[in-house]
A and B are shown apart, each in its own frame.
Chain A
Amino acid sequence: MKEKLVVIGNGMAGMRTVEELLKINPELYDITVFGDEPYGNYNRILLSPVLAGEKTIDDIMLNTMDWYEENNIKLHAGKRVSEINRIARTVTASDGLVEEYDRLLIATGSKPFMIPIPGHDKEGVIAFRDIKDVDIMLEATRNYKHATIIGGGLLGLEAANGMMQHGMKVTVVHLSDTLMERQMDSVSGKMLRNSLEEKGMDFRMEAQTAEITGNGRVTGINFADGTSLETDLVVMAVGIRPNIELAQQAGLHCERGIVVNDTLQTYDPKIYSVGECVQHRGDTYGLVAPLFEMAKVCANHLAQMGIGLYQGSVTSTKLKVTGIDLFSAGDFTGDDTTEELVIQDAGSGLYKKLVIKNNCLIGAVLYGDTKEGAWYFQLMRSAQDISDIRDKLLFGESHLGDSGHGGDHIADMSDETEVCGCNGVCKGDIVKAITTEGLFSLDEVRAHTKASASCGSCTGLVEQILESTLGSDYETPESKPLCLCTDHPHEEVREAIRKQKLTSIKAVRRALNWKTEDGCPACRMSLNYYVQSAWHNEAQDDPQSRFINERAHANIQKDGKYSVIPRMWGGMTTPDELRAIADAAEKYEIRDVHLTGGQRIGLYGVEKAVLPKIWKDLNDAGMVSGHAYGKAMRTVKTCVGKQWCRFGTQNSTELGIKLEELTWASWMPHKFKLAVSGCPRNCAEATIKDFGVVCVDSGYELHIGGNGGIKVRATDLLCNVTTEEEVMEYCAAFIQFYREDAHYLERTAPWVERIGLSRIEDVVVKDEAKRSHYAKRFHEAQKISQIDPWKERSTNGVAAHEFTSIKVINA
């Protein structure tokens, strides 16, 4: 018999947990949900736009009644649980209904705090929390004239704005002298107040409410200073209190909230809790992003995968008032140890303040223009060193030159604009999926639309579309986990591999508590690379965790046939090589012979079983694999340089050959291309390569981080050197640092932008000891790596099973 899971609270955190659970293991439990409110689960955040008349209740339903039925979930909508019996393992609803549980999830959210002043219980004094409250407010806009909101925080201002949209006169009463003082400094708070006043909102700042007056229904407010105000409706928006009574009655340990550990368990291990009702490591939360993170971890434990920890969240806020753009995150006040970058332009209503500590961004307040908010937030959470971009930081990501995604024009972008070239997904498709399917995260958009699910180069754009469609509901990933099988980001995984000396994929999965038994393609390929790049002497390659091209040492084509591209050192060839290629092409009836962009010759349309034979013929003529199929060093493109060209300054071809001999057969996080040009005319296009050399009279310019692919990026000049030996040493060190630092599938261009040129200079240029350390490690690894994989297979019988069928049936 299935175990029984009972959920108390049919809100955003509880249902997200159930959804996550169904994703991992839909069969594990019989699920029963109690919800005090008589509906399915709706998006509470969007009550503000509903109040403002911009959305309807139907628009904001996340899980309709049908959804519960389709997923075999028993929903008791409109039933309040009044008792938990931990010994009998039952819950009882206020109408007497009893359900048994094996595991219980408490997701009761929070209650709005009502200031207990005289008169707070009169008719017409309400909170702003649920659909019922919105109904009362909308009703009031039809029958009354004047509403007062107590509390000038996020919620209060959204309520005030909503009521004002219906033509009501609205006064906001606030205790302090700055609106939203928990999210804003005094400058931006003042700007906000000015814009709201322009819209017609009234304020009573630094005012303390003493009493609510009226006979049965509210008619006015008296303040502590003796003044008073007439009003027909009072909305209290002064804060929330975790809803813990039920848990307290059941004897669960509670402080401000229900105390949970990193696996979201209460003091009774059968009972879990998520959402605003919990207190985790001393913090309670009132925004959805952290609650969704909790939901993910909790679901994992409920699914008995037993891994993943919730370790707290950094949060950011945006105000959902149309026409007002405001963003705030982190520590925006700062102190003696912090620095501030500020732009203020009162005339155009712009204000930006960034707080910096130890070269990291730790807080931000944006007013008037918030499109960079997501980027700043990302910088904060990843604690990235910003010294390289400091001078441009205030102007935003799009001012970083090539590095931006150019996505600050999301709003202007037409629905037909193609966002994901790989899967042909347009902006309109993504927006539609987000709104109709109720998506919140990048992974969800990927699963539903396939946008950014393939090459990933449009990830930034998709994130920005999410951000612009959802506003503040968008969960900015902390630092992104390596894949869905783990919560650990790349850096943590690599550190564990180094520190704990993990030399196989299996060992990593075990040490880091992977959520899936044998991983997914994304983590398998990454881990296979990571263990080998850290422990090249000891780690074993796992062919089954390589993409087919790297397993078969040839590129799979769309019809299942393969291509064969032998290496041509430095782009040079000989009549003998050309003859051998021509012979092979004829012998194996090659359909297409093509000159590649990397200065070599490709043979297309080879059956897999024929690969070892054709390799043998090419090997016999002295040729080896060109690794044109791998996340590996590909080619060194050269020009003829000093040997022939009248402008040539150095022997670029010979240097190219030497570099290729140094680097061939090295595995990389992604493909890696080199080039050497004989003079600054740069015929070998060295400035769009991962490592490019431009020869000059005085020696060699070394360029890094170029890319001629989906997004073109010109290289950064790393340094000048004077001898070929130095070129080789710097090249080896640069490659090894890239191999050990970049994420798998991260090309040098985005990597350089992510970690900053100065860090690379520190390692490769400025510090001789580091340079020689990395160069040495590269040489060691190459000793093991430089074996021709074609010869291994064509002559030495390695992996024979890869190229033959197990059985041929002629019937």
Chain B
Amino acid sequence: MSNWIEVGQLEEIPQQGSRVVKTKGFDIAIFRTINDEVFAIKDACPHKQGQLSQGIVHGKKVTCPLHNWTISLESGEALGHDEGCTNVFTARVEKGLISIDLG
């Protein structure tokens, strides 16, 4: 099952930055990398729920603002020697319009 939802234009997110989509239950962070790839993951760090949307985006990774864990934007997994994972949503960009699949 897929459930695609339009969230906004690519330009609304700064390169190497992130914006938040609020849903009823939780927030989703939408990331834009330096190469304009877009990723969507739950806005909660696997460590202590830090808001990943507030982190620094580098490569296809984000570093959590609270205690510096680095999370893969592709898999939602903590990188390096930390362990943990957050939910990942499929995202796509068509003619500058970002949609995510809430499944």
Interface flags for B5-44 (1: CB within 8 Å of A; 0: not) read 1011000111111011111100100100111000000000
Contact B58–A806 (Cβ < 8 Å): no
CB neighbours (8 Å) of A543 from chain B are 14
Contact of B58 among A518, A552, A560, A809 (CB under 8 A): A518
Contact B68–A809 (Cβ < 8 Å): no
Contact of B14 among A448, A547, A560, A801 (CB under 8 A): A801
Interface flags for B35-72 (1: CB within 8 Å of A; 0: not) read 10000000000001011001111110001011110000
Contact of B22 among A422, A544, A807 (CB under 8 A): A807
Interface flags for A784-811 (1: CB within 8 Å of B; 0: not) read 0000000000000000010001111111
Contact of B57 among A447, A525, A544, A552 (CB under 8 A): A544
Knowing A447-B80, A544-B57 touch, does A556 contact B34 (C-beta < 8 A)?
no
A795 to chain B, nearest CB (A): 21
B60 to chain A, nearest CB (A): 10
CB neighbours (8 Å) of A453 from chain B are 68
Bound complex: CA A422 to CA B69 (Å): 13
B62 to chain A, nearest CB (A): 9
Contact A806–B55 (Cβ < 8 Å): no
Residue A516 lies at the interface, judged by CB distance under 8 Å to chain B? yes
Residue A57 lies at the interface, judged by CB distance under 8 Å to chain B? no
Contact A805–B19 (Cβ < 8 Å): yes
Residue A622 lies at the interface, judged by CB distance under 8 Å to chain B? no
Q: List 15 A-B contacts (CB under 8 A).
A: A423-B67, A453-B68, A454-B68, A517-B34, A518-B58, A520-B58, A521-B58, A521-B63, A544-B17, A548-B65, A556-B65, A558-B48, A806-B13, A806-B20, A807-B21
CB neighbours (8 Å) of B80 from chain A are 447
Contact B7–A806 (Cβ < 8 Å): yes
Number of A-B contacts defined by CB within 8 Å: 88
A424 to chain B, nearest CB (A): 11
Contact B56–A524 (Cβ < 8 Å): yes
Residue B95 lies at the interface, judged by CB distance under 8 Å to chain A? no
CB neighbours (8 Å) of B33 from chain A are 518
Residue A519 lies at the interface, judged by CB distance under 8 Å to chain B? yes
B58 to chain A, nearest CB (A): 5
Contact B51–A544 (Cβ < 8 Å): no
Contact A544–B56 (Cβ < 8 Å): yes
Give the residues from 550 to 569 in chain A that come closer than 8 angstroms, CB to CB, to chain B.
552, 556, 558, 560
Give the residues from 486 to 534 in chain A that come closer than 8 angstroms, CB to CB, to chain B.
516-521, 524-525
CB neighbours (8 Å) of B59 from chain A are 516-518
Contact B50–A560 (Cβ < 8 Å): yes
Contact of B66 among A516, A556, A805, A809 (CB under 8 A): A556
Residue A545 lies at the interface, judged by CB distance under 8 Å to chain B? yes
With A545-B56, A806-B30, A808-B21 given, can you name 11 additional A-B contacts, CB distance below 8 Å?
A447-B81, A517-B59, A524-B58, A525-B56, A544-B57, A547-B56, A556-B54, A560-B54, A801-B12, A801-B14, A806-B19
Contact B22–A809 (Cβ < 8 Å): yes
Contact B66–A544 (Cβ < 8 Å): no
Bound complex: CA A558 to CA B47 (Å): 12
Bound complex: CA A727 to CA B59 (Å): 46
For chain A, the bracket of interface size reads 20 to 34
B73 to chain A, nearest CB (A): 13
Contact A809–B57 (Cβ < 8 Å): no
Residues of A at under 8 Å CB distance from B?
422-423, 447-450, 453-454, 516-521, 524-525, 543-545, 547-548, 552, 556, 558, 560, 801, 805-811
Bound complex: CA A807 to CA B23 (Å): 9
CB neighbours (8 Å) of B63 from chain A are 520-521
Knowing A543-B14, A547-B56 touch, does A808 contact B22 (C-beta < 8 A)?
yes
Bound complex: CA A251 to CA B102 (Å): 61
A550 to chain B, nearest CB (A): 11
* Chain B residue at minimum C-beta to C-beta distance from A506: B34
For chain B, the count of residues having a C-beta within 8 Å of the partner chain is 38
Residues of B at under 8 Å CB distance from A?
5, 7-8, 12-17, 19-24, 27, 30, 33-35, 48, 50-51, 54-59, 63, 65-68, 80-82, 102
Contact B51–A560 (Cβ < 8 Å): yes
B81 to chain A, nearest CB (A): 5
Bound complex: CA A519 to CA B33 (Å): 12
Bound complex: CA A807 to CA B12 (Å): 11
Best-buried of B33, B35, B54, B67 by chain A (most CB within 10 Å): B54
A403 to chain B, nearest CB (A): 27
B56 to chain A, nearest CB (A): 4
Bound complex: CA A543 to CA B13 (Å): 13
B13 to chain A, nearest CB (A): 7
Contact B66–A811 (Cβ < 8 Å): no
Bound complex: CA A805 to CA B29 (Å): 9
Bound complex: CA A170 to CA B53 (Å): 67
* Chain A residue at minimum C-beta to C-beta distance from B54: A548
Contact A806–B50 (Cβ < 8 Å): no
CB neighbours (8 Å) of B7 from chain A are 806-807
B4 to chain A, nearest CB (A): 12
A805 to chain B, nearest CB (A): 4
B6 to chain A, nearest CB (A): 8
CB neighbours (8 Å) of A423 from chain B are 67
Bound complex: CA A624 to CA B70 (Å): 34
CB neighbours (8 Å) of A552 from chain B are 54
CB neighbours (8 Å) of A519 from chain B are 58
Bound complex: CA A585 to CA B48 (Å): 28
Bound complex: CA A556 to CA B16 (Å): 19
Bound complex: CA A810 to CA B58 (Å): 31
Bound complex: CA A597 to CA B22 (Å): 36
CB neighbours (8 Å) of A558 from chain B are 48, 66
Contact of B23 among A516, A521, A801, A811 (CB under 8 A): A811
Contact A809–B23 (Cβ < 8 Å): yes
Contact A806–B65 (Cβ < 8 Å): no
Contact B21–A805 (Cβ < 8 Å): yes
CB neighbours (8 Å) of A524 from chain B are 56, 58
B72 to chain A, nearest CB (A): 14
Contact A544–B14 (Cβ < 8 Å): yes
Bound complex: CA A516 to CA B59 (Å): 8
Contact B16–A518 (Cβ < 8 Å): yes
Bound complex: CA A556 to CA B102 (Å): 28
Bound complex: CA A552 to CA B51 (Å): 14
Contact A521–B56 (Cβ < 8 Å): yes
CB neighbours (8 Å) of A516 from chain B are 58-59
Bound complex: CA A448 to CA B22 (Å): 35
Contact of A547 among B8, B24, B65, B81 (CB under 8 A): B65
Contact of A809 among B24, B30, B82 (CB under 8 A): B24
B75 to chain A, nearest CB (A): 15
Bound complex: CA A808 to CA B6 (Å): 11
CB neighbours (8 Å) of A806 from chain B are 7-8, 12-13, 19-21, 30
Bound complex: CA A545 to CA B56 (Å): 7
Contact A544–B68 (Cβ < 8 Å): no
